[in-house]
Amino acid sequence: MKKDTSATLIGAGLKVTPTRLAILEVFSKDCKPINAEYIFNRLHGEKVNLVTIYRTLSTFAKKGIVRSVNVHAESAHYELAAHHHHHLICKDCGKIEEISICNELLDKEAMAHSTKFQSIQSHSVEFFGVCKKCKV
Amino acid sequence: MKKDTSATLIGAGLKVTPTRLAILEVFSKDCKPINAEYIFNRLHGEKVNLVTIYRTLSTFAKKGIVRSVNVHAESAHYELAAHHHHHLICKDCGKIEEISICNELLDKEAMAHSTKFQSIQSHSVEFFGVCKKCKV
DNA sequence: GTGCTAATTGCAAATCATTAACATTTAGGA
DNA sequence: TCCTAAATGTTAATGATTTGCAATTAGCAC
């Protein structure tokens, strides 16, 4: 498992450090989009600086290890890029659920617009609504 | 036209003010997701406070007049809710293009997940890539 | 039309997320 | 083991957004 995360870093041309491994661990444990603050709280025992987390997220995003997700929140949320999902987001409590569909129709759409854009690399799909708990 | 925007406000139970009408005007002129700063620049002649724009956007979003859109930018972008589109966003220059498809497949997806969520009110779809200008 | 009140706006300062500068440490190859 | 670029910590800065409070105004009752 640790070998797995090390490989991810090495493959991206990044040095393998305890901080980076720890952050990747958090991602693989929590299968939902998370933000810097969340990671910070999970790693309190390990004395990781919040600034480092921001920097790491930025580096990971640039290398394509993680991707930012729109959850209509104030802070930026990320998920593992390898772990492609679409989302259901509750407008009331902010709860995020993943839905694992990714139909070809979207790919076709992407293709259809490739005349305007040189290349389309990714897409995101989010549904916003109210979850059962919040519905009184 | 002004009657149109007034109706929008009245329908939402909001008072009709010059500032609000001006902001709605900006939205209807620019058919793309815009942020507070952008609106502020368009309204310089009219001495509207930036804080008021933030407040108005928040109010409009709450009332369902506008909707926030994920454009992977630092600031929050909004578009008229009535004006539903999906987007092509250039990762290099940040250019946003609208694409006017909205297939039923997405609606079906929404339905399929209505067991988990009480109700799904909206969805957003964004494609990220590189536009022709930015592709060297 | 006048007056009233809650909603709206402006202004200044605070807050929150994120980034920058710079000094120190460390991973990993020579 | 040594060396260097990359990574991290610390502190301060920045930029977006919010808050508190006083002044203004829309829209209703009279």
What pLDDT shows up at residue A53? 97
Verify if strand C has an atom below 7 Å from the CB of A74: yes
Query: With 50 as the cut, is the pLDDT of residue A55 above it?
Result: yes
List of protein residues whose beta carbon is under 7 A from strand D: A 14-15, 17-20, 47-49, 51-52, 55-56, 59, 74; B 9-10, 15-18, 35-37, 50-51, 54-55, 58, 74-76
What pLDDT shows up at residue A95? 80
CA distances to A34, A85, A89, B8, B26 from B15, rounded to whole Å, are 38, 41, 31, 10, 18
| Chain B residues inside the 8 Å CB shell of A70 | 69-70, 124, 126
Q: What is the pLDDT of residues B66-77, one digit of tens each?
A: 988 878 888 999
CA distances to A16, A111, B100, B131, B134 from A115, rounded to whole Å, are 40, 8, 15, 10, 14
Write phi, then psi, for B121 (nearest 5 degrees): -100, -30
What pLDDT shows up at residue B112? 61
Alpha-carbon gap: A64 to the closest alpha carbon of chain B (Å): 13
Query: With 60 as the cut, is the pLDDT of residue A26 above it?
Result: yes
Query: With 60 as the cut, is the pLDDT of residue B102 above it?
Result: no
Which CB contacts under 8 angstroms, 24+ apart, belong to A81-86? A83/A31, A86/A124, A86/A125, A86/A126, A86/A127, A86/B109
Q: What is the pLDDT of residues B45-97, one digit of tens each?
A: 788 999 999 999 999 999 989 988 878 888 999 999 887 778 888 877 778 88
Verify if strand C has an atom below 7 Å from the CB of A58: yes
Residue B1 pLDDT grade (very low, low, confident, very high; cuts 50, 70, 90): very low
Contact B123 A123 (CB under 8 A): no
Task: Identify which has the larger pLDDT, B80 or A113.
Answer: B80
Question: What HEC string does B17-70 produce?
Answer: CHHHHHHHHHHHHCCCCEEHHHHHHHCHHHCCCHHHHHHHHHHHHHHCCEEEEC
